[in-house]
Amino acid sequence: MCGIVGYIGKQDASPIIIDGLRKLEYRGYDSAGICTLNGGEPQIRRAEGKLINLENILKQQPAEGSRGIGHTRWATHGRPSEINAHPHKASGIVVVHNGIIENYLKLKERLQGLGHNFSSETDTEIIAHLVEEHYRQCGDFEAAVRQALGEVEGAYAVAILCEQEPDKLIAAKLGSPLVIGQGVGEYFVASDIPAMLSHTREMIFLEDGEMVVFTPQWMRITDLAGNSLVKQSKTITWSPMMAEKGVYRHFMLKEIFEQPRALADTIAGRLKSDEGDIHLEDLDFTDEQLQQLDKIFIIACGTSWHAGLVGKFYIEKLARIPVEIDIASEFRYRDPIVGENSLTVLISQSGETADTLAGLREAKGKGGKTLCVCNVVDSSIARESDGVIYTHAGPEIGVASTKAFTTQLVALYLLALKLGRARGQLSADDCRACVEDLVALPRKLEESLELNDQIEAIARDFMNARDFLYLGRGNQYPIALEGALKLKEISYIHAEGYPAGEMKHGPIALIDENLPVVVVVPRNATFDKVVSNMEEVRARGGQVIAVVSGEEPELAGKTDALIQVPETNDDLMPILTSVPMQLLAYHIAVLKGTDVDQPRNLAKSVTVE
């Protein structure tokens, strides 16, 4: 969490940094700050709250200079306030930081003993003082940063300026993401790609333990010992427009409506229709290795974990391999039994989630194979996994995940088909039929989006409820969980997802005329069972919002609202039933006037434990 941006070149740094921070606000929005250098004293401006507050300060007191660093904060150490906002300064050293310094109390005590005074409650301020202490002794900015970083424990992505050496900007990374953008006669550095997309598409992804010294003319990448490293840049295919809201009121709505395109891009080039097989370009395992697998673990957090729950159904059904699924923060501490023939699948939109990354390292450390389903090219999880299936959703900016989720489901389905074919569990003909369903899916999702107006009307009817219950069975149970998560994330209404058959063991006690119950009930093997559960809700006065597939005349008069998505095969149905979940949460949140794209207390990329 937290986003950092740095710039060094000939242009005015301040607007470039503010524009970059705007693209990173999804990472945190408790406070924002900037520092520019103009050959004189560092110009620091900071403000509590969202970036707009900082922008207003900059209108009154511009910060000039062609070098600069900026920060948008998700508070860990110290409450959200101006005093705790980055950048932090110690004499001429100014720092922005994303991560957590774990030994900060020990370092703080030592520095206080040496006469340093601290003005914030943050761990970050330690870095500024530590660099300053070393700088005072060695008189070399680069050496001072290297020595200071050698002493800190924890995670960091930092960008640092030095008043006495204004032609240098130094950045380094350990555990938190950092990307370099290469311009002509200028350099950018940021926590994520969209912050730099409107200036360059040539990017270099830093690894842990790497440090960069930038001047306007050159840059040098080294390890912390000072050894030079040669790294190739990558050309990013995302366009700057993909990180803009365009005609949409919110990023979330834009991203919901982008799903047909995102699904089509995730499928493109991966279907071998003639052979009845799947091609996954970065899978990096031979069919023989796939045949030897005896177990699959799926590890993820949040919405990605919900995708994993659906993925378990896909893999067990189509490839007949047992799948264990874990929330990443649980997996890493439970000493899982990972063998060399196990495959651990990490699912992560950002590819930077700290717990998921730790789960990956845990599985690797135990000698297992790893594969990730990831949206961000060359992110930490993508780089460290043995194989990758990229979801081609494009940048997802809204904090509540939408298109990343449905593309994850597609990627997991492709993986299950591939495994099924490689292991002889699925015939070419059966695979071909699934491929046909996949090809038709983007069009069906487009049809589901036509429900937008109907769902907005339903949202009006139910927006004042205090609690919601979401029910589903089988592969629709994760969709019930995801529907409840979406609603609570952005509307702050309490919501629970439950397996429909389990309702009678507890949640049924909650049901009365004030409780809307969203029942996901497409036509499949458990349809009648779920309809019975629906009846149990109605018998107790609960209000039923049913999500069905195709026409269901027998449900006429049995629901308070009926939402009908198009039909597809049962495995792909969760992708279509996700759409009403997203739109219902979105419209309720808009009607309640919450901050849809940046809901309180949340961040999109959670790089702390």
Catalytic residues: 2, 604
Rounded distance, CA 189 to CA 171, Å? 8
Segment (H or E) for 449: helix 428-449
* Minimal distance, residue 398 CB to ligand G6P, in Å: 9
Which residues have a Cβ under 8 Å from the Cβ of 130 and sit 6 or more positions away?
107, 111, 148, 151, 152
DSSP 230: -
Give the residue closest to ligand G6P by C-beta. 302
For residue 602, state whether it binds ligand G6P (rule: CB under 6 A): yes
- Please tell me the number of Cα atoms within 13 Å of 571 on its side-chain side: 22
Q: Which stretch binds ligand G6P (CB under 6 A): 44-52, 120-128, 250-258, 599-607?
A: 599-607
Residue 299 C-beta: closest distance to ligand G6P, Å: 10
Which residue in the set 101, 193, 562, 606 belongs to the binding site for ligand G6P (CB under 6 A)?
606
Q: Site for ligand G6P (CB under 6 A): which residue of 302, 368, 574, 580?
A: 302
By the rule CB under 6 A, 304 interacts with ligand G6P: yes
**Does position 491 bind ligand G6P by CB under 6 A?**
no
Binders of ligand G6P in range 378-437 (CB under 6 A): 399, 401
Residue 360 interacts with ligand G6P (CB under 6 A)?
no
Member of 348, 406, 476, 582 binding ligand G6P (CB under 6 A): 348
* Identity of the residue, 66 or 76, whose beta carbon is nearer to ligand G6P in the bound complex: 76
- The alpha-helical segments, DSSP class H, found in 471-558 are 477-491, 527-539
CB neighbourhood size of 532 (10 A): 12
- Residue with Cβ nearer ligand G6P (17 or 263): 263
Q: In this structure, what is the dihedral angle of CA atoms 588, 591, 593, 594, given to the nearest 10 degrees? A: 10
User: Taking a C-beta distance cutoff of 8 angstroms, is the pair 501, 533 a contact?
Assistant: yes
Please pick, from the candidates 84, 349, 391, 475, the single residue that binds ligand G6P as defined by CB under 6 A.
349
The site that binds ligand G6P (CB under 6 A) totals a number of residues, namely 15
> Using the rule CB under 6 A, is 72 a contact of ligand G6P?
no
Residues 6+ apart with CB under 8 A from 240: 197, 198
Contacts with 242 (C-beta within 8 Å, 6 or more apart), sequence order: 194, 197, 394, 395
Report residue 574 as tokens. 């969760």
Residue from 14, 76, 353, 407 binding ligand G6P (CB under 6 A): 353
Of the pair 280, 347, the CB lying nearest ligand G6P is at 347
301 binds ligand G6P (CB under 6 A): yes
| b/e map 476-501, b = 16+ CB within 10 Å | bbbbbbbbbbbbbbbbebebbbbbbb
Cα(522)–Cα(394) distance, integer angstroms: 29
Beta-bridge partners for 343: 296, 369
- Window contacting ligand G6P (CB under 6 A); options: 157-165, 226-234, 300-308, 512-520: 300-308
Stretch that binds ligand G6P, among 116-124, 301-309, 414-422, 498-506 (CB under 6 A): 301-309
User: For tokens 């969490």, what's the residue?
Assistant: 1
Residues that bind ligand G6P (CB under 6 A): 301-304, 348-350, 353, 356, 399, 401, 602, 604-606
